[in-house]
Amino acid sequence: MSGKITLADAPEGRMVKVINIRGGWGVRQRLSQLGIYPGDIIRVVRSGAFRGPVYIDVNGNGIAIGRGVASHIEVEEV
Amino acid sequence: MRIALLGQPNSGKSTIFNSVAGYKSVTSNFPGKTVEYTKTRVNFEGNYFELVDLPGTYSLTSFDLAELEARNYILSGEVDVVINVVDASLLSRGLELTIQLLELEIPSLLVLNMIDDAKKKGIYIDREKLEKVLGIPVVETIAVKGVGLKDVFRIAIEVGKKSQKPKPLLYRKDIEKVIDKLLSILPSELDSLGLPKRFLTVKLLEKDTYIIEKVLTKVPSFKEEIEKHQRILEKTHGKPSDLVISGERHALSMDIFERVAKVKKPKINFVERIDDFVLNKYLGYLILVFVLYAYFNFIFKIGVLIETPITSLFDQFNTFVSAHLGQTLIASILEGIVQGLSGGIGIVIPYLVPFLIGLSLLEDIGYLPRIAYLMDVFMHRIGLHGKAIIPFILGYGCNVPAIMATRILEEPRDRFITAFLATFIPCSARITIIYGLAAYFISPNAALFIFFFNILVIAIIGKILNKILPFSSPGMILEIPRYHIPSIKVVLAKTWLRMKDFIYIAWPLLIVGSIILSLLQYYKIDILLNKILTPITVWILGLPQFVGTTLIFGVLRKELSMIMLMQAAGTNDIIKVMTPEQIFVFTIFVVFYIPCVATIAVLAGEFGWKKSTVITIFSIGLASFLGFIFRLWFLFF
């Protein structure tokens, strides 16, 4: 598959599609509660400075995701 | 009848609750703030019921303590009706909780709150159609403006009287098949758990650790069947079974959303423009520093303005009393009462009120989660993540809610470290002391130094704790809510709610404490206490002996330390009896030593007495050490 990167590396301002969420039950549940599932399209609003959190837009709702978690979310640019 | 409010964080539950309860529940624009539930008795148009405000929960899968608490409460069987509050502008996500609620088969209704916000975002919801799809009543509200709230309670009572149980919505066929299969072989021993069978089955397939543990303690042999069915789902869908179930719920709610809502183009997203500055890589931090600096300056300016005339007035009164009544018992009791009163009016309130108003403003606007976003990087340095900043900030108000707020963190280790560190945050009582002693008698810069020094010490302890308890926390996942324009009514009400504690509990204690100290002095018992404490006060810290008793009172409430100090010194003008260096060392010691009684109790409640004692003893050692260091510093430099 071409262009598979993690959310931590996704460029600012782009729409990306969630491909896979690596990580444990807890992280998967927490993300799913906020409406982040494989297959969903989200927008990377800003990628924090100094390796800070990634700010994404999920259906018009802002969510901050720590870089550690973000590096477990595989996405694909659309 | 008992009615519970259930909803995702920031959906407006607490606002609805407060509309009928007066002001009892603290609302805030931060996900997961309500960590305990609040109850109130309501008389609505001649119908009596009890209303319970539950902590905000994203789902009914047990995840953090607050969510577990909400779920257990609903499952306890004591709830007759559940009012499910949903932020209408986030309907599709909110429905995921609703779907799980329907599985509990408890009479319910859905409240589409903030319907005006939804329209602004271009979302138009067909209420009647949604009622048909869900099979429960749906009410539209704008809770902050009070719109639709009467209908909510009227319908809730109706639903409760009829006791209509909703029907769970169905998933896709192949998943239903697996659910049916597992449901049909549930051992009868599990009936005693009191959970609806379908809900139980779904949670088992979803790998809900809490429920699986409960089931396995009853029927350990059932483990194989559970795992076998989980595997069936995993095989056919190619992903973990919990994702299959939650994904199914997600798809179902998206499907419902598409059927009942029309989405038009939203107006320009103005809020995101604000965040371009507030969350900017560089500008964001500048704004943060500016906001906090302005905040603390604002407190000090207002505080001094009020403090100076009031305390001098009380001081005059005291000189007048001792001049006319001399050293009699009555005079010393009277002096105690006046000192206690003046401590409240003249010292604590001038700083406490502006602090609390400012905190409420920051909270309601929605700035706190943005601070968490900005601070995430720095918090990682001490092995925590951004969300841990929230208990710290709350700690500047009072350590008790700060420690309770550590429940928003997922890991027990993170919670303990955060609570440990939060007890060193100068609460408003200690801020009063920093302002009232260091800033007032030395200089505002001395106070500022103490604040920065305090943060430095906390960071160092954090680093050390991180070494002792190594663990990489999973990281932050935090919703950044929309900005809200704070309502003056809510800000004032919240300030009052937090003030009440001081006025009704601390102030009387202050007055009683002052009288006791006066009596101790009158009968010369304080001399004995001061002697006992001499090793710490005089030998280590180099302070006058009379400060000993004041430190004991400070354990009850921190603000007592300063007021008692003035009482013990016999004047509000401390500079006459202590050198600036001594005042500084005293302030440092008071900022770090023993958390107050209430804090110790909450720590014990959350983490057990052992850990609470460890923190307490550590803090005395730390305070003595730091005080000693500064004493040496002043001696040599």
Tell me what ipTM this predicted complex has.
Answer: 0.91
Is A43 near chain B, with CB under 8 Å? no
Instruction: List all residues 6 or more positions away from B457 whose beta carbon is below 8 Å from its beta carbon.
Output: B424, B592, B622, B626
pLDDT of amino acid B36: 59
CA distance B563 to B428: 14
Where does the pLDDT of residue B7 fall: very low under 50, low under 70, confident under 90, or very high at 90 and above? very high
Residues B412, B540 share a domain: yes
Are both B329 and B445 inside the same structural domain? yes
Domain range for B9: 2-162
Which residue type sits at B20?
V
From B162, B194, B212, give the residue that closes a domain.
B162
Share of chain B above pLDDT 70, in %: 94
Tens digits of residue pLDDT in B371-427: 999 999 888 888 888 889 988 988 887 787 788 778 778 788 899 999 999 999 998
Nearest to B477 among A25, A45, A65 (CB): A65
The continuous run of DSSP H or E covering B43 comes out as strand B38-44
Of B131, B162, B193, the position where a domain reaches its end is B162
B194 and B134 share one domain: no
| Domain contains B167 | no
Residues B178 and B144 in one domain: no
A22 touches chain B (CB under 8 A): no
Residue B158 lies in a domain: yes
Domain count within chain B: 3
CATH number of A4-77: 2.30.30.90
B88-119 pLDDT, tens digit per residue, is 989 999 999 999 999 999 999 999 999 998 88
Nearest to B23, CA basis, from B354, B503, B495: B495
pLDDT at A1: 46
Question: What's the pLDDT at B628?
Answer: 95
- Chain B, window 343-372: residues with a beta carbon less than 8 angstroms from a chain A beta carbon: 369, 372
CATH number at B104 reads 3.40.50.300
Domain-embedded: residue B274: no
Structural domain contains residue B396 = yes
Percent of chain B past pLDDT 90, that is, above it, reads 39
Determine whether B295 is exposed, middle or buried from the number of CB atoms within 10 Å of its CB (0-12, 13-18, 19+). middle
- One domain, residues B228 and B287: no
Q: Is residue B270 part of a domain?
A: no
Q: Do strands B108-113 and B81-87 pair parallel, antiparallel, or not at all (unpaired)?
A: parallel
Position with higher pLDDT, B373 vs B144 = B373
- When CB atoms are compared, the residue of A63, A68, A70 closest to B479 is A63
Measured in Å, how far apart are chain A's first and last C-alpha atoms? Answer: 13
Burial of B42 (0-12, 13-18, 19+ CB in 10 A): middle
Better-scored residue on pLDDT, B264 or B63: B264
Q: Does the pLDDT value for residue B223 go beyond 90?
A: yes
Q: Which of B73-77, B156-160, B268-272, B475-479 has the lowest mean pLDDT?
A: B268-272
Based on the domain organization, do B342 and B386 belong to the same domain? yes
- Look at residue B277 and tell me if it is in a domain: no
**CA angle in degrees (0–180, nearest 5) for A51-A26-B33:** 80
Same domain, B394 and B246: no
Q: Residue A38 and residue B247: Cβ atoms within 8 Å? A: yes
Do B618 and B522 sit in the same domain of this protein?
yes
pLDDT tens across A30-43, in order? 888 888 888 888 99
Q: Looking at the complex, does the CB of residue B374 fall below 8 Å from at least one CB of chain A?
A: yes
Of B162, B182, B200, which residue is a domain's last? B162
Beta strands B81-87 and B123-125 are unpaired
Residue B272: per-residue pLDDT? 65
Question: Do B221 and B315 lie in a common domain?
Answer: no
Query: Same domain for B453 and B328?
Result: yes
- Residue B273 included in any domain: no
Q: Where are the alpha helices (DSSP H) in B502-608?
A: 507-522, 525-532, 534, 547-556, 558-569, 580-592, 597-607
One domain for residues B102 and B221: no
- DSSP class per residue in B46-71: TEEEEEEEPPP-S-SS--SHHHHHHH
Q: Are residues B308 and B456 in the same domain?
A: yes
Report residue B613's pLDDT band, with 50, 70 and 90 as the boundaries.
very high
Confidence of residue B172 (pLDDT cuts 50, 70, 90): very high
Q: How far apart are CA B271 and CA A45, in angstroms?
A: 13
Q: Is the CB of residue B86 less than 8 Å away from at least one CB of chain A?
A: no
